[in-house]
Amino acid sequence: MSQTDTHYQLDTPKLPDGTKLLIVRAPYYKDIADDLMTGAQKAITDAGATFETIDVPGALEIPSAVSIAANSNKFDGFVALGCVIRGETTHYDTVCNDSSRALSLLGLQGVCIGNGILTVENAKQAQVRADPKGQNKGGGAAEAALHLIAAKNRFGKSTQRRSIGFLPDTEHFDIA
Distance CA 144, CA 117 (A): 13
* Other C-beta atoms lying within 10 Å of the C-beta of residue 53: 14
Q: Which of 7, 91, 147, 172 is catalytic?
A: 91
- DSSP 8-state code for residue 14: P
DSSP string, 35-72: HHHHHHHHHHHHTT-EEEEEE-SSGGGHHHHHHHHHTT
Q: How far apart are CA 89 and CA 102, in angstroms?
A: 21
**Is 91 part of the annotated catalytic residue set?**
yes
Measured in residues, the chain has a length of 176
Residues that are catalytic: 91
